[in-house]
Amino acid sequence: MRVQLRGIRRRALWLALSFAFLFTCVAILQFVYVRHQIYKTTHNELENWASEVATAAVYEGKWDVEGYRNVPAMVPNWYLIAANGLIVDIEEFIPGLIFSVRQPDESLYQSPQTITSELGEKWLIYAQRLTGGSVVVGISNPDEFKDPEGLLITAARKLGPSVDDAAKANPRAMSADIDYAIISDSGDLRLAWGGIPLRTDPALLSRWLTNSPVVIIDGKPYMIAWKTIYDGSGKPIGTVIVPKDLTLEERALHNQIVFDVLVGSVSWVVFLLLPLGYLVFDEVKRRQQEMTIEEALQTGENQVIEFKRGFIADSLAREIAAFANTNSGNIFLGVDDSGQVVGLSEADAHQRGELLRKLRDITSTKISPRVVTETAFLTYEGKLVLRIFVPRGDQPLYSVDNLFYVRQQNSAEKATPQQIVAIVSKHAG
């Protein structure tokens, strides 16, 4: 039974180790694959959107802003910027993507002014100072409106009194025909909606062109697709920037990592605890089997207890081999067959060491293969007793002078052929 248990334990340990290692590898591969698929799918989607915006903005190798305004691209959010830094359009502003813009001309703070952008687009623009910056509002093609100046002045007054307040304003409070931008005193673009013709430094945008698939903007993870727009001669005339907030995707990946780490940790903890559990189990079982002299005397000789008056090598070898072949047991030297404690004569440390040496000679030379025993000197009513604990062996059979013995009741008996076959079969099974 002990051999079977050890075989089961070895298999359980290997199974636990294999599961922990396999799960760890699968978890890592799964995470890498899922992240790769998410990034690949998102990147392809953004590339398609950027191409769609670029196609809408250019016709026959030239800017077609009018056509672009009339038939907007079906894309969630994007930035369209000319090569010289002119902002053509911003849909769904992302704080921090465009760092700064030029301050509006001073004349715009006096009254609404009509201007024509570098792309030939007509605008009516008005600027109003706020605490910490200014707001710029504008209408493209103002001739189509009855009172465009009044619309702009009214809209600008809704966005105040400070830059912080204006940046928090709900875009729905503004007319859909009015584009606007919030600019701090230092030139930071705090908020923008639409195509107010402001100018930024295109070189600052290149900082987002990195090898990493994900960049952090204003504390959030984004993936950004860039599409350069070329004219008919192949000269770059603008850029489409399509960002996507990956907060939900990164959160899902984080949750997967947490789950995989948790399950993987449990797997490794189980693997590490199994040997400890087996050691504790063996120790408890051993201590239960290692009887005290008082327990042995009260019980008497039986399947697990043997009394020996003195050290007789051949007899002791047979008893040890019988326990190793059958079941764990305890041999008490210094107790006669009737259970009377007679004690051992080996009183000092040297004599005890010599007695243990002779015992080792028996277990290593007279018994084959070698049996490992555990010994302890006990004292009972002033008399010395040696307890020898013999565990059931790891090998199928142990012999003494080529003879096999088994424990039967309270003695070691020579094993029959049938018993030998049964012991070997049990060990193999």
Helix, strand, coil abundance in the chain, percent, nearest 5 = 45, 30, 30
Reading the block at residue 211, the tokens are: 């090898």
pLDDT in tens, 69-123: 887 778 889 999 999 999 999 998 998 888 899 999 999 999 999 999 999 999 9
Give the pairing type, strands 329-333 and 305-308.
Answer: parallel
Which residues are 410's β-sheet partners? none
**What's the mean pLDDT in 163-186?**
87
**Residue 330: CB atoms within 10 Å:** 22
Lowest mean pLDDT among 258-262, 312-316, 400-404: 258-262
The whole-number average pLDDT for the span 368-374 is 93
Question: Could you give the percent of the chain with pLDDT greater than 90?
Answer: 59
Q: What gap in Å lies between CA 395 and CA 424, rounded to an integer?
A: 9
Q: Is the pLDDT of residue 179 over 90?
A: yes
Task: For residue 253, give the H/E element and its range.
Answer: helix 247-289
For residue 326, name the pLDDT band (cuts at 50, 70, 90): very high
Q: 118: which 2 tokens?
A: 């570098």
The structure's pTM equals 0.62
* Rounded alpha-carbon distances, angstroms, from residue 207 to 173, 215, 273, 320: 34, 10, 50, 81
For every residue of 90-150, DSSP letters joined together read: EES--TTTS-BBPPPPGGGGTS-EEEE-TTS-EEEEEEEEEBTEEEEEEEESGGGSSSHHH
Tell me the two tokens of residue 259: 């789950």
Question: Would you state the pLDDT for residue 10?
Answer: 61
How far is Cα 126 from Cα 139, in angstroms, rounded to an integer? 9
Which sign, positive or negative, has the C-alpha torsion 115, 120, 123, 126? Answer: negative
Name the residue among 240, 213, 208 with its Cα closest to residue 41: 213
Residue among 175, 98, 190 nearest 138 (CA): 175
Asked whether the beta carbons of 10 and 278 are under 8 A apart, the reply is: no
Q: Tell me, which fold does domain 291-428 have in CATH?
A: 3.30.950
- Going by pLDDT thresholds of 50, 70 and 90, the confidence category of residue 203 is confident
Mean pLDDT in residue range 207-228: 86
**For residue 378, what is the enclosing H or E element?**
strand 374-380
User: In which band, very low, low, confident or very high, does the pLDDT at 11 lie, cut at 50, 70 and 90?
Assistant: low
Summarised one tens digit per residue, pLDDT across range 269-293 is 766 666 666 655 666 566 556 788 9
What confidence score (pLDDT) does residue 178 get?
93
Query: Is the pLDDT score of 375 beyond 70?
Result: yes
User: What is the C-alpha separation between 142 and 144, in angstroms, rounded?
Assistant: 5
- Kindly provide the b/e burial profile for residues 247-259, where b requires at least 16 CB atoms within 10 angstroms of the residue's own CB: eebeeebeeeeee
Confidence of residue 2 (pLDDT cuts 50, 70, 90): very low
Model pLDDT, residue 98? 87
Q: Compute the average pLDDT of residues 283-312.
A: 84
Q: Which of 3-12, 111-120, 417-426 is the least confident region? A: 3-12
- In order of 86, 118, 186, 203, the CA distances from 200 in angstroms are 6, 14, 13, 9
Answer with the residue of higher pLDDT: 62 or 211.
62
266, two tokens: 């449990």
Pair 256, 89: CB distance under 8 Å: no
Kindly report, residue by residue over 145-168, the tens digit of the pLDDT.
999 999 999 999 888 789 999 888
Q: Which of 48-57, 204-213, 392-401, 409-418 has the lowest mean pLDDT?
A: 204-213
C-alpha–C-alpha distance, residues 188 and 165, integer Å: 15
